[in-house]
Structures are given as structure tokens and as C-alpha cells.
Amino acid sequence: MTITCNVRPAAFLVSRGEIQAAIEKHTTLISEVQRGEDLYRTSLGWLDVGTQKIDELVHVAKHVNQIAEVMIVIGIGGSNRGAVAALEVLKRTTTSPTTLYFAGDTLSETRLADAMEVLKTKSVVLNVIAKDFNTVEPGITFRMLRSAMQAKYGNAYAQRIIVTGSKGSGQLYEVARQHGYTYLPFPSDIGGRFSVLSPVGLFPLAVAGVDIRNLLDGAYAMQQRVRTEQGEDNPAILYAIFRSLIRKKGIALESLVTFEPDLQHFIRWWIQLFAETEGKTDQVLFPVGFSYSEDLHAVGQYVQQGPRILMETYLDLQYEENGCVIGPSKDVVDGFDYLDDTPFSRLNRTVYQAALQAHSDDGIPCIELKCDSFLGAASLGGVFYFFLFTAYLSARLLGINPFNQEGVEQYKRNMYAELEKPGYEK
């Protein structure tokens, strides 16, 4: 699976010469990022997916499949968005006796009650994921569901708890050791939003029946390309450089545009990745996402003729055609006879081209990320890695640390103080 990055001619705000000059200017930095900078070595565990060990994950997943109808995955943000995104895309090609149910990403009492009902009526395993087991949303959800598991299964409940977390005082490794839970590592050198291709994302997907080896194979193939190719031939470099230049031209937002509804959760994963990685300066694009063609009838007018503050990144990644052909309407005159005998898949391709052409012709900066493979585990793994690497490179072009998130911590401190957590008094 390969990706090509095409800058549409309408993106006249940035010339080809500017792109080439920027690549030359940043050649040393780009090479350092491709190697993995020593400065960020403790955060680059995701950079080489070839180091991931999955035998234990597959073994534990098979055990879960034997004992559980549902695995409730408790996590928030990077701890579950990758798995949610992948499962939504691949659900049509997976079979598993165990359904995934996601919880712990909200403090809504109603959502907790929904999870409790699942636990009450189904055979359940819990998988709680937390690199820092201090975050309230997954932590307190785990407590509530864990208590319900104890009431339902008695002393045997511990055999149905799997924790994916860190070592250290008060962290999930210690909880697992003390209470006999199954422990899987949340690698210390991988942050949450970069964790989809680690045990954090791979284990739930293995339980759901996803071929995680195939997913990693696709990611590894993409890794080999974006970490070796130079200049504009490397789609990650071209994409990152264009993003860095377009912001200086007054563009404030980037929308990831997809044409398969199953990619909406992938958009949410992408938004978090770039928002948390780059959002530490006012010289950064705000990430949003549109799902066309539905959103053409919701925000399309704003995009077409509203203020010129937006660029669009078209992700050309669609499912394999299934042979559906539009048949004639024999009894009802509906005005669509011009589509008789047309492959239905042509409609999605046509709206893709029509929207891209209309927007770029009207002066909206557009980039196409064209994939040469249909949606599947390998292609999705490649796209995941492409964006992980590009987020890292884009942040370094901005001159910022890609891996911290001090802004997120401020709301946590406020919440801890309000809830009177020891050490966080007002």
C-alpha cells in the first residue's frame, strides 16, 4: 500500500518553488526526524513498528474469546480512539465471538448505566487502559464496573480483568500484581495518541477478530517508505511542509475529508493526534473533519463561499467495489433514469471528484492523499503510520515538542482541586 500526496493547482497560496525551498531549508531536521531524534528518544517507541511483540496479545485475546460475549474497553482519548477507529473500518471483515463495548471516555452517569446494563446481561471481561492511572474518567469507571464484576462473579472476577498500563507506584501494573489481574504493557516510550499500533490498540482489535499482523505489516511498509525517501517524492514530507507553509498564508483550519462514513471515527482519532501534538502555539492549523457527501449538505456552502480560512485534505481511501449496479425503475418515474446500469461505486467516486474540483477551482487549498489499496487491515495500518509520522514531523517544523500536552493537564488540576483530591487543594 502506498500513498501519493498531490497539491492541487488551486492551492496557489503556496508555490512549488516555496515547497522545494522549505524542504531544502529543513533537510537536516527532516533527516533527524526520520532517524528519530535523540532528544525525544523516550517518546519514540512507536516509530519502529517492527519491534512490536504480539504473540502474548493474540494468546490473551483467544482466552477472552473463549469466556466472554463482550469485552468492555475502559479508556479515554488515545487509549481507545485508535481501536474504535480501526474497528469501525474493519468490522465487515472480522468475525469474533466477543463484541467490544467502549466506556470510560465520559463522566456521564447515563453512559455508565448503559455499561452496567451490558455487564448485567452479558458474559463480560474488562480491559482497562491507562498510561497514567490518575485520570478520573477511566479510573472511576473502572471502579464502578469492577465492583459490579465482583458482585457478579465473586472471587473469580479477577480472571476477567485485563489491565493495559504502566509500571510504577499507584499504576496499573501494581494493581494487577496485587489483585491477580492479567497485565499487558502500555509502553513507557509511547504516548496515548501515538499508541494505536502498540498493545493499547492491538489487543482490543485482536479480541475483535482483526488480523493485527496484517495491520502491522501495512504500517511497517509505510514506515520503510516515509523514513527513507527524500524530498517531494516522500508524501509525508510534502504534506508536512505544505501544512507548515499554508498556515503562514492566513489559513487557520485543516479539514480531513473522507467519503466513507466508516471513517468518521478515524477522523476523530486524526483530530486528537494533530490537536494534541501541535496545539502549543498560535501558528498551528486547527484540525476538523468532514464526511462527504453528507457534510456537503451541511457545511459545503460555508466551505465553498465562506471566509478563506480553511484547507482541505482529501483522504482517497474507499472500500473495494462490491458489484452493486443501479437497475431501472420499472413502475415509478423518479427522474433518475440517467443512472440506469451505472455501478453504484461510481457515484462516490464522482462526488469525490466534483467536490474536489469545485472547491479547488474556487480557491480553497486542497491536498489529495491518494491510496493505491482498498480499505483493509494493511492499508489502514499504513494510513495510521503515515499520520503518526507526519504529526511528529509537522510539530518539529513548528519548533515544538510533539509529545507533551501541558494544556490538557490544567483542566485535570482544576478538577482535582474541585473534587478535593489530596495534594490539589484550592
Residues 160, 146: Cα–Cα separation, whole Å: 10
Choosing from 53, 297, 330, 426, the catalytic residue is: 297
Choosing from 137, 276, 278, 312, the catalytic residue is: 276
Residues 295, 246: Cα–Cα separation, whole Å: 24
Q: Coil, strand or helix: which one is 179?
A: helix
Q: Could you tell me which of 222, 184, 213 has the C-alpha nearest to residue 79?
A: 184
Give CA angle at 62 (60, 140), nearest 5°: 50
- Count the alpha carbons within 13 Å of 93 in the hemisphere toward its beta carbon: 19
Q: Would you say how long the chain is, in residues?
A: 426
- Count the alpha carbons within 13 Å of 3 in the hemisphere toward its beta carbon: 36
CB 273 within 8 A of CB 394: no
Whether 276 is catalytic is yes
Cell 492541487 sits on residue: 8
- Count the alpha carbons within 13 Å of 426 in the hemisphere toward its beta carbon: 4
Residues 410, 401: Cα–Cα separation, whole Å: 17
Residue type, 124: V
- Count the alpha carbons within 13 Å of 91 in the hemisphere toward its beta carbon: 13
User: Which residues sit opposite 184 in a β-bridge?
Assistant: 164
Q: Coil, strand or helix: which one is 190?
A: coil
Whether 418 is catalytic is no
Whether 25 is catalytic is no
Q: Could you tell me which of 171, 175, 119 has the C-alpha nearest to residue 147?
A: 119
Pairing of strands 99-103, 70-74: parallel
Give the orientation angle of helix 27-35 with respect to helix 377-397, to 10 degrees. 130
CB 253 within 8 A of CB 310: yes
Residues 137, 420: Cα–Cα separation, whole Å: 16
> Which sign, positive or negative, has the C-alpha torsion 306, 310, 316, 318?
negative
Residues 335, 328: Cα–Cα separation, whole Å: 11
Residues marked as catalytic: 276, 297, 412
